[in-house]
Amino acid sequence: MPEEYTSLVEALKALTQAEDPNAENPVTVTLPMAEDEWYTRPDTVSYGMVSLDFEADALRGDDRKVATAYEGSVDLFSLARNGAGWVELITGTLTEHCGGAWSLNHHTYERDTGLFHWEWAFQVEG
């Protein structure tokens, strides 16, 4: 398992165990920046972060109501149109850890920087 993939999994695990997301200082885990030896994925121009943003009303994916649910997001910025392998890694990890309670919330191209931006929103039980 690639190191960066492990980091993402660990980040999501850590977020699911967070007790209280703070709006001023949300729990944020920055994905490792690419290094030279990563010749397959991600490329040297991709970066991202995982954060737990606020307490949600219910789990969206299966519409379950649980005592406490948190909503978070994964952001990916990449100069590569296809995300250089990160998209598959992130969505696979979200499915593994959040079931159906996640969705692609935002996908844009920043003309000023040339970066493609993905934002996935996910929900986890508290």
Partner 1 sequence: MAFNIQVDGMNELLNSMGKLPEKAAKVAAEALYEGAGVVADAVSSGVNGIRTEPFKYARGGKTRKPSPEEKAIVAGAKHGVAKFRKNGVSVQTSVGYQNAGYAVLNGKTKPIPQIANAINSGTSFMQRQPFFRKAVSQANGAATAAIEAGIHAREDELNPD
Q: Which residues bind partner 1 (CB under 8 A)?
A: 53-58, 60, 65, 71, 73, 75, 77, 105-106, 108, 110, 112-113, 115, 117, 119, 121, 123
In the bound state with partner 1, the residue whose beta carbon lies nearer, of 88 and 110, is 110
In the bound state with partner 1, the residue whose beta carbon lies nearer, of 7 and 73, is 73
Token couple for 33: 């920046």
CB of 1 to partner 1, least distance (A): 28
In a 3-state reduction of DSSP, which class is residue 108? strand
Give the strand pairing for 116-125 and 102-109: antiparallel
CB of 89 to partner 1, least distance (A): 20
In the bound state with partner 1, the residue whose beta carbon lies nearer, of 119 and 125, is 119
Yes or no: say if 65 and 91 are a contact pair by the CB < 8 Å rule: no
Alpha carbon distance 25, 86 (integer Å): 26
